[in-house]
Amino acid sequence: MLNNICTPQDIERFVREIEHDYQHTKGLILSEHDAQCLLYAKISTHLTMVHHSSIETADSDVWASPLHTEINFLDVNDVLLIRPDITLLDVQNISLKQINPNRLVKRKGFEFWGSAVVIELKFCKYLAGITQKFTDSVRRDCEKIEELHRRLYPPNQDATLSGLVIVFSRSNRQCDSFSQLINDYSNNPVVRIIYATSNLNQPLTSRSSGRRHRA
């Protein structure tokens, strides 16, 4: 059901739309939360357009949205594995009433045992660009999603997990290790890295703005 309403490919398209706006409005994103809000709004609009902003859950006559933020994913010992910035859930496998200790998500007033798309967002504000330290933090996010997949989504079940680590950078400069990291995950079956930049260190293209030409 989830892949029929919003796919990772849809999400990448939304990122490219944001990137286009970001390159024309360099101050569009000033924090990671800005990026989160922009992407959330894009996904929410898409769900409304395809008439899936609200779907019936596993509980009869109880409806929910597929789109959420800061959802805790716990392992079998109730240890936090990851709290993605944005999560898309297969709503047909959500319950607000049932109690089962083996669910993937619990303790927040609902339970979930279906497919998901998890999104981690990173924002690099420095004009020097993406450094080795920043690259290491991106790698850790990728590894957390892979660990979530390994522990909670075994290959013998129908539910699936897709992960996206989306990097917005003010500058288009980046270290070699970041380019290599993107390449390393280019064919990963679980996690993909999407990179977008405002190109602030590049000459600005001409815009019809009198403000830029004032003396």
> Predicted confidence band at 114 (pLDDT cuts at 50, 70, 90)?
confident
Ranking 8-22, 105-119, 121-135, 152-166 by mean pLDDT, the lowest is 105-119
Instruction: Report pLDDT digits (tens) over 38-49.
Output: 999 999 999 999
Q: How many CB atoms lie within 10 A of CB 160?
A: 17
Q: How many CB atoms lie within 10 A of CB 148?
A: 23
Burial label, 168 (beta-carbon count in 10 A; 0-12, 13-18, 19+) = buried
> Predicted confidence band at 107 (pLDDT cuts at 50, 70, 90)?
low
**Cα atoms in the Cβ-side hemisphere of radius 13 Å centred on 71:** 23
Given a cut of 70, whether residue 93 has pLDDT beyond it is yes
| pLDDT at residue 110, rounded to an integer | 78
Any idea what the Cα angle at residue 32 is, between residues 27 and 37, rounded to 5°? 85
Given a cut of 60, whether residue 83 has pLDDT beyond it is yes
| pLDDT at residue 99, rounded to an integer | 60
d(CA 78, CA 128): 40
Given a cut of 70, whether residue 95 has pLDDT beyond it is yes
Which is higher by pLDDT, 122 or 74?
A: 122
| Beta carbons of 24 and 207 less than 8 angstroms apart | yes
> Predicted confidence band at 102 (pLDDT cuts at 50, 70, 90)?
low
CA neighbor of 19 nearest in space, from 165, 144, 175, 200: 200
| pLDDT at residue 60, rounded to an integer | 86
Query: What is the full DSSP assignment across 66-95?
Result: SEEES--EE-TTS-EEE--SEEEE-GGGEE
**What is the mean predicted confidence (pLDDT) over 120-125?**
97
Cα dist from 36 to 86, 199, 208, whole Å: 8, 19, 29
Q: What is the mean pLDDT of the chain?
A: 87
Ranking 114-123, 130-139, 175-184, 197-206 by mean pLDDT, the lowest is 197-206
d(CA 198, CA 18): 10
Contacts of residue 205, defined as CB under 8 A and 6 or more positions apart, other chains included, come to 24
Contacts of residue 69, defined as CB under 8 A and 6 or more positions apart, other chains included, come to 36, 40, 85, 86, 87
Given a cut of 50, whether residue 160 has pLDDT beyond it is yes
Cα dist from 100 to 95, 106, 115, whole Å: 10, 9, 17
Cα dist from 154 to 74, 77, 157, 160, whole Å: 15, 17, 6, 9
Instruction: Report pLDDT digits (tens) over 181-212.
Output: 999 999 999 999 999 999 998 554 544 444 44
